[in-house]
Amino acid sequence: MIQLRVTIFYFLQVIMYMIFARAMLSWFIRDANNPFMKVLINLTEPILSPVRKLLFRLNIGGNMIDFSPLVALLLIQFLSYLVVGLK
């Protein structure tokens, strides 16, 4: 059971790093056809898309700033603490 929790925790950490990298690199790499950005977009979009839709329904954010990476990071961090805290 402990091994499963550790595996899930590290998996969530990798997802967090990918979302953070995508958010930071989106400021510098504007070409979505860049191979590295394509990989990041393909791996993180299934997580960010539902968050983006939820924020749109709640009328949070705007056209200029996408808060979905920040909200997704907070949710994944909370989930990580839940997984580690389970006994």
> Average of pLDDT values for 50-59?
90
> Average of pLDDT values for 28-42?
88
Query: How many CB atoms sit inside 10 A of residue 85's CB?
Result: 8
Q: What is the C-alpha separation between 73 and 53, in angstroms, rounded?
A: 16
- Can you give the pLDDT at residue 68? 93
pLDDT > 70 in the chain, percent? 95
Q: pLDDT-derived band of residue 26, with 50, 70 and 90 as boundaries?
A: confident
> Average of pLDDT values for 4-12?
92
pTM of the model: 0.88
